[in-house]
Amino acid sequence: MKIVIEDKDVKDAIAVVNDWMGLRYTPAQMLELLEKNPHVVAEMSMFGAFDTVSRETLMDVVGEDLTGRTCPLNMDGDELGAKFYTDLYQAAKEKGIYILQI
C-alpha cells in the first residue's frame, strides 16, 4: 500500500520537530524526510502527529537522518543527551535547517 503524504502531514511534522527539537524544517525538507520514511506518515495517520508514538518515531527519524543516531532517552543521562543535541544542531546547520534554540 502506498502512503500518501498530505500537506497537513508535512505541516504537523514540522510543528512537532519545531516544538520538541528546536529545528525549523522547510516544507520541502520535511517532505523529503517523510518520503524516505513513510512509516512515520502511517503512524501519524493512525495516532496523530502529536501522539507520543508518532512524535518519538519522527524525532528518531530526524536524529538518524542528521546524526546517524536516534534521540536519547531520559535514562541515557545528561551527557549523552547534550552530545546528541550538539551533534544534531551542527548537522542541521550544515544541511540548511534553521535552529530555533540551542
How many domains does the structure of the chain reveal? 1
Interior/surface letters 42-79, b for 16+ CB within 10 angstroms, e for the rest: ebbeeeebeeeebbbbbbebbbebbbeeebbeeeeeee
Is 56 within the bounds of a domain?
yes
Is 102 within the bounds of a domain?
no
Per-residue pLDDT of 6-54, as tens digits, reads: 999 999 999 999 999 999 999 999 999 999 999 999 999 999 999 999 9
Rounded Cα distance between 94 and 11, Å, is 22
Q: Which domain holds residue 90?
A: 7-96
Is the predicted pLDDT of residue 57 greater than 90, yes or no? Answer: yes
Rounded Cα distance between 13 and 9, Å, is 6
Is 64 within the bounds of a domain?
yes
